[in-house]
């Protein structure tokens, strides 16, 4: 559906994205994952034909997004990272405006509301100026779904949504996936990726680190899980007890013992600490940051490349990551 080849975008001397290549299959939900400034928005804008690449090629269903922009734009709907609407219009008037702009029947509005259960909780006829950031984001999502396009490009779609809106959005995406829609979205939120994506492109500083399945990403996350334990009797001896029980790392910070381990080893570690006399008043688990996952992945990739370089009787072999 989407083919991105050697995409590079520079702003003066600054390179926003460099030599990016990947493909998105028909019916796939594909995520661009990375922290702010990693190039996610730049890539989406280039695909949407809103930003001219410095070099590279982008096509949608074989249609060049620049040489045949009108045809390409008929194939997708785009939700920008930040949406803004005329504040003196109601939500319904905004949707009617976009229907007329795109020459769509007005009944598309009710179909979006009914089909996806994505209502405005009585706000449909209130002014946009009265909307919260989450409601404006929800309106932007509704606008993006009006055309019923085969491809959706969504830039940080859940960024401003409240928990209820996030749950409804995930259900909406599940419905679209069942219909065979192709979805490319960006996010820096791990839970969005885990719930929605089939495959993930990991971006770091404008470069593509890897393209992998969500299962592979989950495995990377699981290795780095942490427990934070509040101890009633903090003692350095508990560090050794945790390590002997299989912890990857353990350190004492005042009254808190921070333990890194695999999820399946948590119970054994907790039991070992209890047997050692630790009084555990409270504990919580901590999800690793994106930066930790990136650093871990980059370290493993570099180690893998180094191993390949010194293999095969001294002959160098370069490892590449397929996009």
State whether 212 and 229 are in the same domain.
no
Q: Is residue 305 part of a domain?
A: no
Q: Are 25 and 1 in contact (CB under 8 A)?
A: yes
Domain with residue 268: its CATH number is 3.30.70.980
Look at residue 312 in the predicted model and tell me its pLDDT: 46
**What pLDDT is stored for residue 221 in this prediction?**
59
Q: Rounded CA gap, 142 and 31, in Å?
A: 20
Residue 275 lies in domain: 225-286
Predicted TM-score (pTM) above 0.85: no
Has residue 318 been placed in a domain?
Answer: no
| Domain identity same for 174 and 254 | no
- Considering the domain boundaries, does residue 134 fall inside one? yes
The answer to whether residues 101 and 159 belong to one domain is: yes
What's the rounded Cα separation, in Å, for the pair 307 and 316?
Answer: 10
201, 31 Cβ separation under 8 angstroms? yes
Give the 3-state secondary structure of residue 323.
Answer: coil
3-state secondary structure 277-291: CCCEEEEEEECCCHH
Strand 256-260 to strand 226-231: parallel, antiparallel, or no bridges (unpaired)?
antiparallel
162 lies in the same domain as 192: yes
Adjacency order of strands within the sheet including 280-286: 249-253, 256-260, 226-231, 280-286
Contacts of 62 (CB under 8 A, 6+ apart): none
Task: Specify whether 168 is located in the same domain as 96.
Answer: yes
Q: Which residue has the tokens 């381990």?
A: 261
Asked whether residue 77 falls in the same domain as residue 207, the answer is yes
> How many domains is the chain partitioned into structurally?
2
Residues 308 and 318 sit within 8 Å (Cβ to Cβ): yes
Residues 198 and 264 in one domain: no
Residue 318 has a pLDDT of: 36
Q: Among candidates 306, 320, 321, which has minimal Cα distance to 210?
A: 321
As separate numbers, helices (DSSP H) first and strands (DSSP E) second, the chain gives 11, 14
pLDDT given for residue 39 in this prediction:
94
Contacts 24+ apart (CB under 8 A), 244-250: 244/272, 245/269, 245/271, 245/272, 245/273, 248/223
The residue length of the chain stands at 323
- Confidence (pLDDT) at 224: 62
Which residue in 33, 303, 300, 40 sits closest to 193, CA to CA?
Answer: 33
CATH number for the domain including 19?
Answer: 3.40.50.300
Residues 43 and 96 in one domain: yes
Residues 239, 268, single domain; the answer is yes
The pLDDT value recorded for residue 320 is 36
Whether 42 is covered by a domain: the verdict is yes
Q: Are residues 120 and 234 in the same domain?
A: no
Residue 295 lies in a domain: no
Per residue of the chain (323 residues), give pLDDT as tens: 999 999 999 999 999 999 999 999 999 999 998 888 889 999 999 999 999 999 999 999 999 999 999 999 999 999 998 888 999 999 889 999 999 998 999 999 888 877 666 566 667 788 999 888 888 888 898 899 899 899 999 999 988 777 777 888 888 888 889 999 999 999 877 777 878 899 999 888 899 988 988 777 766 656 567 899 999 999 999 999 999 999 999 999 999 999 988 877 889 999 999 999 999 999 898 766 655 666 666 566 556 555 544 444 443 333 333 33
Pair 31, 162 in one domain: yes
Residues 86 and 103 in one domain: yes
Which of residues 220, 254, 278 is at a domain's end? 220
- Alpha carbon dihedral 216, 218, 219, 225, in 10-degree steps, equals 160
Residue 309, in any domain of the structure: no
39 contacts 26 by C-beta, under 8 angstroms: no
């Amino acid at each position: 559906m989407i083919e991105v080849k050697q995409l590079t975008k520079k702003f003066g001397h600054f390179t926003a994205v460099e030599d990016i290549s990947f493909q998105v299959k028909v019916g796939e939900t594909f995520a661009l994952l990375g922290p702010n400034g990693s190039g996610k928005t730049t890539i989406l804008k280039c695909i949407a034909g809103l930003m001219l690449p410095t070099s590279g090629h982008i096509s949608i269903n074989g249609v060049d997004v620049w040489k045949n922009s009108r045809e390409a734009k008929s194939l997708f709907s785009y939700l920008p990272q930040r949406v803004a609407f005329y504040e003196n219009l109601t939500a319904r008037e905004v949707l009617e405006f976009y229907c007329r702009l795109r020459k769509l029947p007005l009944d598309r509005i009710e179909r979006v509301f009914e089909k996806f259960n994505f209502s405005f909780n009585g706000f449909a006829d209130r002014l946009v100026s009265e909307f919260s950031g989450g409601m404006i984001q929800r309106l932007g999502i509704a606008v993006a779904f009006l055309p019923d396009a085969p491809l959706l490009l969504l830039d940080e779609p859940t960024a401003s949504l409240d928990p209820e809106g996030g749950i409804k959005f995930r259900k909406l995406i599940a419905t679209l996936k069942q219909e065979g829609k192709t979805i490319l979205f960006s996010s820096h939120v791990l839970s969005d990726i885990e719930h929605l994506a089939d495959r993930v492109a990991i971006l770091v500083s404008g470069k593509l680190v890897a393209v992998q399945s969500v299962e592979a990403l989950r495995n990377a996350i699981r290795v780095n899980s942490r427990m934070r334990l509040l101890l009633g009797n903090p003692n350095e001896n508990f560090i050794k007890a945790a390590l002997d029980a299989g912890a990857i790392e353990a350190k004492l910070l005042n009254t808190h013992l921070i333990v890194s381990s695999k999820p399946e080893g948590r119970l054994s570690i907790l039991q070992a600490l209890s047997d050692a006399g630790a009084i555990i008043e409270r504990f919580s688990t901590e999800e690793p940051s994106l930066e930790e996952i990136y650093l871990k992945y980059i370290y493993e990739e570099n180690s893998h490349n180094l191993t390949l370089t010194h293999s095969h009787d001294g002959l160098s072999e370069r490892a590449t990551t397929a996009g």
